[in-house]
Amino acid sequence: MIPRVLQLLLIGWLAVGSVVMTGRFVSAQEGDSADERPLRERTIYVPYQRLRSLFEKEGRGVFLPYEEFQQLWQAAREGRGEVAPEPDRQRSVITAIDSVATVEGTVVSVESTVRLELLASGWHEIPLQLMGSALSQATIDDRPARVFQREDGQQVLLLRNPDDAPLGIELKLVYAQIYEKTPGTNHVVLHPPLAPIHRWEIVVPEADAQVRIQPNVALKTLAAETEGNDAPTDNVGEAMEGDENGALTRVEAYVGGADTVGFSWTAKAEGAAGLTALVTAQARQEVTVDEGVIRTRATLTYDVSRADVSRFVIEVPADHD
């Protein structure tokens, strides 16, 4: 019989041999599959000592290979369309203006009521223009308004809206500008605030004045309106008789969206101020001779210019009856 110790050694040798053969067979199979699939090395470093300080704070992120990042980035770009920029919203607007322009001495004085609306919250700079004009008053609710002047001479109104709800405001302006005098015509050009609706009332303290406005719009005489006639006057204002301040020319016009507004006026006899009347006459005579009598018939046509003539004096020969 084989000793017990020898049996144990034989069994152990056989077991080791089978394990070695099995390992070689498995290694051969793995080698074949490794040739078919290339090995990709990935090294991951785990900072055990600073794990909490690196990953448990703001700004922590996920780290991935660059190729996978490029794939995700390209997919995101292909799936996202171009986003159109949001158009700028109008933050404030002047809705309407009522202005009264009065000729006073050598200047034209303008009183305007400006209605505006703040559409967004925060501070607003609203251009008032008024270049070349002297601003004497700007008030909101009978309190001085914040107005400053830019380098180009433009006046700017500064307002604040405390919330996003639209806020309506009424601004009172008083300004003046010197007008130009030329022979027979006076003229002024104003730079009022821009508004889609701008109503003008022009008052000239002269009788029978003709008023014209630029841009060329139709004027309506307020005198004819009180008499029940609302017809436009084809851009020429007529005199308003019976005014409490004397003879005036008062007209109305609507000018909207114009950068400049100019108007001129001409008095009926302004060109002859200080000059004597110039009178020309045309005479036509017919003489008839009868027995002992001579009859004369004369037709006189007079043309009076430069000034009015109060009376005419006509002399005839003394021997004529």
In 60-121, at which residue ranges do the beta strands (DSSP E only) sit?
A: 92-104, 107-118
Cβ neighbourhood burial of 232 (10 Å; 0-12, 13-18, 19+): middle
Q: What are phi and psi of 126, to 5 degrees?
A: -110, 115
How many domains, the chain? 1
- HSE-CB at 11 with a 13 A cutoff on CA atoms is 7
* Cα separations in angstroms, 151 against 131, 156, 190, 297: 11, 11, 18, 76
Cα 162 versus chain centre, distance: 23
Q: What are the tens digits of pLDDT across the range 79-133?
A: 665 556 666 778 899 999 999 999 998 999 999 999 999 999 999 999 999 999 9
Q: Is 282 a member of any domain?
A: no
3-state secondary structure of 304: strand
The confidence score (pLDDT) of residue 207 equals 78
Q: Is 128 a member of any domain?
A: yes
Q: Is 72 a member of any domain?
A: no
Residue 190 sits in a domain whose CATH number is 2.60.40.1730
Q: Is 109 a member of any domain?
A: yes
Q: Residue 260: which of 103, 127, 131 has the closest Cα?
A: 131
Question: Above 50 in pLDDT, residue 300?
Answer: yes
DSSP 3-state helix, strand, coil percentages of the chain (rounded to 5)? 20, 40, 40
Q: Which tokens go with 265?
A: 């006026």
Instruction: Please confirm whether the linkage preceding 127 is cis (ω < 30° from 0).
Output: no
Q: How many angstroms separate the CA atoms of 128 and 192, rounded?
A: 7
Neighbours of 136 (CB within 10 A): 10
- Band the pLDDT of 199: cuts 50, 70, 90: very high
154 near 146, Cβ under 8 Å? no
The confidence score (pLDDT) of residue 273 equals 58
Residue tagged 């008062």 (tokens): 250
Q: Is 296 a member of any domain?
A: no
Residue tagged 């014209």 (tokens): 212
Cα 58 versus chain centre, distance: 47
Q: Is 183 a member of any domain?
A: yes
The answer to whether the pTM exceeds 0.75 is: no
- Show the domain range for 165: 92-271
199 near 97, Cβ under 8 Å? yes
Q: Which tokens go with 176?
A: 């003046």
Q: Which tokens go with 220?
A: 């309506």
The confidence score (pLDDT) of residue 314 equals 81
Q: Which tokens go with 151?
A: 């380098």
Rg (CA), the chain: 50
When comparing pLDDT for 192 and 321, which is higher?
192
